[in-house]
Homo-oligomer: A and B are copies of this chain.
């Protein structure tokens, strides 16, 4: 069960990828973390530390429709080998968390968290705030390392 042409996943005309947060976590992120096959896998795997926000658009295009949101998987990079802090720097700037994490529910059951981040050009603690927003989703399982994000 896979919709593809020449190995490329294809979305039939008229379909748009507008997942709910529950679908993102419960289906896509959970399968990704477990290395399970995803039918019509439109979420690309990227290295967020090597990709500037303005390069994500081209890389994470789904079909030919104009998009305001881009979806991708990325593995977290540790800031220091022995620590738990995440390295969120790119060549041109860095992602900085803003506000509180939001709890994601499936029905009444808590399944994960959403962190909101803003991109700053330059180097911390300085840096120029931009309009780029990223939502980082984490599962509540023990699988804490891989994460998935959508602008």
Contact = CB atoms under 8 A, between A and B. Distances in A.
Chain A at the B interface: mostly helix, strand, loop or mixed?
A: loop
Nearest to A26: B13
Interface of A: 1-5, 10-20, 23-24, 27-28, 39-40
Contacts of A18: 14-16, 18
Number of copies: 2
B17 A14 contact: yes
A22 to B, nearest CB: 9
Contact of A15 (B2, B4, B5, B11): B11
A14 B39 contact: no
Given A14-B24, A14-B28, 16 more contacts: A1-B3, A1-B4, A1-B5, A1-B10, A3-B39, A11-B15, A12-B39, A13-B27, A13-B28, A14-B17, A14-B23, A14-B27, A15-B18, A15-B19, A15-B40, A16-B16
